[in-house]
Amino acid sequence: MPFKSIKTLILTSTPTPRNPQKKRKGKKKKLGKSMCPSSPIVPLLLYPPAMLLMLALTILAIVLSSLFFFKKSTADIATAITNTSTIINTSGVQPLPPSPPKLPIIGNLHQLGSSPHRSLCSLSERYGSLMLLHFGHLPVLVTSSPSIIREITQTQDHLFSNRPSLKAPNTILYGGRDIAFAPYGEYWREMKKATILHLLSNKKVGSYKQGREEELAFMMKEIERTMLVDMTERFHALSRDVISRAVIGDSTRNKLWGGGLRRFIDESSRMIGEFYVGDYIPWLGKIIGVVSGFERRLRNAFERSDKFLEGIVKEHRRRIAKRKEEEGDGDNATDECFLDALLTLEGELKCTGLVFDRESIKAIVKDMFGAGTDSTSISMEWTMAELIRHPAAMKKLKEEIIKVVGPNEASIKEEQLADMSYLKAVVKEALRLHPPASIIIPRQLIQDTNIKGYRIPKGTMVLINAWATGRDPKIWDSPEEFRPERFINGEAGDINFSSHGFQLLTFGAGRRSCPGIKFSVTLIELAIANLVYVFDWKPAKGEREDIDMSEVYALTTRKREALMLIATKAVK
């Protein structure tokens, strides 16, 4: 669950356009030596009033830093900064991790650009796999190295399991009353436990089988009817409806509020995904928050989604009361949805610190829609895009599916997926290259510690760059290549989403890792298998290799352009 750059943070109000980046025809992009191809540091600001402010600030910062480092050459500055560690070391204190030079006031915020996962990856190439930046005054540890990620999410997990308190998630998610952004502690533990038990356990996920198959059948019919398909939209509707059936017991199709739900997912995801300058430089945030309209948009987003959820909660309360009236207080929980289960827990679930109440219920329901919908649909979109660009892989997958189920079935059933090892490899390979959370939801260190001989101060925010880990040539052979075979008998034969090598971080790791793996992977595999089995595919425009693979960085890093495809009934 990522966030946006300083560019957008201040500048947030400008929604990213779905503006295709034109590719030069006939030329494949050649990879340089860097493992972080194209790390655009774009013009700092887009939104005019905020732009002026930030520009003024950046200039001020540059002037100040020039005065401060008067007479020092650039080389001296870099050496002075990276050598701070050595100087401290001689006095017996452990060094801080290496840092790029920073500007006064804003620190390294200006270096994030529009694609922070790429910019941070480039910086790491120069400053190492454990790098300390500063966002304003806040120290920010950045890493993509499996051995360091092991320290953070396994060996010292108890110290690194807090989340920083950030303005947008705090506002939208009722002051951290959800799970993903809740501070580490008893409240978070109890909420996560209850969510796994009532929504995401293997047993529960198995029980949504009928819902998944019905929603998928609806999508397949729609594709057959139109043949020219906006797969981005289709995948979003599919994952939204499957989540919705599990969480509130109803598909969003044919519902008056379906559009409202879509809007609140998009809006929340966009706003939570933004780097907001006020989180790092509070006095500046106050000005920029007002000037850029961020504060207003945040308030509106919260109020709209709250009103929408309040309506659903009320309706469910009424239904539960009616059911109780009709059936008495017996155990009638068999067909209850997640929201019903939460409502029955209200008043029963006690924990110290934060209280579990009506606001918690709304926050957790929001979390499930927000965390589950976009990431699952974006995963399907990237997987399908990679398959279209790689016809050999598509053919191999189709052959595997036909071998498992035969050529004459109307659709693939969930129980048949277990025998499709190439399908599983395809999904892992697509998510290695395109983890929806390219930078994992930030963590915050609760007490001073050290990693690999470096001192890490209490309060440091931690960014794990999952995108960079997935493309690290020290871990993967030809990392930029889409080659699912690597997950069968190649270098990654034994790696899966929850393995402890910390190379495939699509779902994070450790105690704050994603509890929705089973839920989403089952749906992704089922959808891809059916789409490949039932139809043949080609891009709506141009050649396969022309499919635009550029990204838009947000809470979930998605494809910039919608995936428009033409489907024809497959001849098997």
What is the contact surface with ligand HEM in residues (CB under 6 A)? Answer: 1, 179-180, 192, 200, 243, 367-368, 371-372, 375-376, 379, 436-437, 440-441, 506-510, 512-516, 519-520
Looking from the CA of 385 toward its CB, the CA atoms found within 13 Å total 27
Spatial separation of the C-alpha atoms in residues 247 and 200, rounded to whole Å: 10
Q: State the pairing for strand pair 551-552/461-464.
A: unpaired
Residues 195/515, Cβ–Cβ less than 8 Å: yes
Residue 243 Cβ vs ligand HEM, minimum distance, rounded to whole Å: 6
Residue 158 Cβ vs ligand HEM, minimum distance, rounded to whole Å: 13
Spatial separation of the C-alpha atoms in residues 480 and 544, rounded to whole Å: 17
**Closer Cβ to ligand HEM, 130 or 380, answer by number:** 380
Identify the DSSP state of 66: H
Of the candidates 335, 527, 337, the residue with the CA atom closest to the CA atom of residue 414: 527
Q: Give the bridge partners for 559, in sequence order.
A: 551
**Closer Cβ to ligand HEM, 110 or 558, answer by number:** 558
**Closer Cβ to ligand HEM, 243 or 534, answer by number:** 243
Residue 383 Cβ vs ligand HEM, minimum distance, rounded to whole Å: 10
Spatial separation of the C-alpha atoms in residues 263 and 304, rounded to whole Å: 9
Residue 528 Cβ vs ligand HEM, minimum distance, rounded to whole Å: 12
**Closer Cβ to ligand HEM, 454 or 507, answer by number:** 507
Known binding-site residue numbers for heme: 514
Residue 399 Cβ vs ligand HEM, minimum distance, rounded to whole Å: 26
Q: State the pairing for strand pair 461-464/138-143.
A: parallel
Residue 181 Cβ vs ligand HEM, minimum distance, rounded to whole Å: 7
Spatial separation of the C-alpha atoms in residues 33 and 12, rounded to whole Å: 33
**Closer Cβ to ligand HEM, 393 or 440, answer by number:** 440
- 393 by Cβ neighbours in 10 Å (0-12 / 13-18 / 19+) ranks as buried
Structure tokens at 118: 């790429």
Spatial separation of the C-alpha atoms in residues 503 and 516, rounded to whole Å: 19
**Closer Cβ to ligand HEM, 440 or 532, answer by number:** 440
Of the candidates 504, 482, 378, the residue with the CA atom closest to the CA atom of residue 432: 504
Q: Between the CA of residue 263 and those of 8, 37, 269, 301, 370, what are the distances in Å? A: 20, 33, 10, 9, 11
Q: Which residues contact 332 (CB under 8 A, 6 or more apart)?
A: 323
Residues 49/292, Cβ–Cβ less than 8 Å: yes
For residues 482, 485, 490, 491, the Cα torsion angle rounded to the nearest 10 degrees is 40
**Closer Cβ to ligand HEM, 371 or 426, answer by number:** 371
**Closer Cβ to ligand HEM, 479 or 508, answer by number:** 508
Structure tokens at 21: 């980046």
Residue 481 Cβ vs ligand HEM, minimum distance, rounded to whole Å: 21
Q: At residue 425, what is the residue type?
A: A
Identify the DSSP state of 357: S
Known binding-site residue numbers: 514
**Closer Cβ to ligand HEM, 83 or 202, answer by number:** 202
Residue 234 Cβ vs ligand HEM, minimum distance, rounded to whole Å: 16
Q: Which residues contact 266 (CB under 8 A, 6 or more apart)?
A: none
**Closer Cβ to ligand HEM, 58 or 195, answer by number:** 195
Residue 366 Cβ vs ligand HEM, minimum distance, rounded to whole Å: 11
Residue 512 Cβ vs ligand HEM, minimum distance, rounded to whole Å: 4
- 568 by Cβ neighbours in 10 Å (0-12 / 13-18 / 19+) ranks as exposed
Residue 160 Cβ vs ligand HEM, minimum distance, rounded to whole Å: 10
Residues 432/144, Cβ–Cβ less than 8 Å: no
**Closer Cβ to ligand HEM, 61 or 431, answer by number:** 431
Structure tokens at 13: 């109000």
Residues 285/276, Cβ–Cβ less than 8 Å: yes
